[in-house]
Amino acid sequence: MADSAMVPSSEVRSFRDLLVWQEAMDLVVEVHRAVRLLPYDEQRDLGREMRRSSTSIPSNIGEGFNRHSRKAYRAHVAIALGSAGELETQLEAARRLELLDENRVVSLMDGCARVARLAQGLWRSLGPAPRK
């Protein structure tokens, strides 16, 4: 996963500067690699859903950032969190169906949990602006 340090908010010029986006993109790559190991029929079914949900995480973070609205940004981060939950569920299905090696599933689940923690922190930081 990304090894860059957390970027101070004053230096965030793009969603690409966000550690959560970087880690989520690394997760996308690892999920796509894992899907190639699934049996062909599962690549089309479960694998397609795994690719879609993993890609949705950084996509929604990027889209929300570029909306230039705190409320819209927070809503897109919430969607990204939902996609992380979908991916975790799909990974658990792959584990129970013995479609992927246990070590690979554990590694992907760890990455998913790490991204979800970062996204949760971003979501909290975007909470409603204090009233004046």
Each residue's pLDDT tens digit in the chain (132 positions)?
Answer: 343 334 445 688 999 999 999 999 999 999 999 999 999 999 999 999 999 999 999 999 999 999 989 999 999 999 999 999 999 999 999 999 999 999 999 999 999 999 999 999 999 999 876 666
What does the angle CA 76 – CA 81 – CA 87 come to, to the nearest 5 degrees? 125
Instruction: Write down the CATH number for the domain with range 16-125.
Output: 1.20.1440.60
Domain range list for the chain: 16-125
pTM for the full predicted model: 0.88
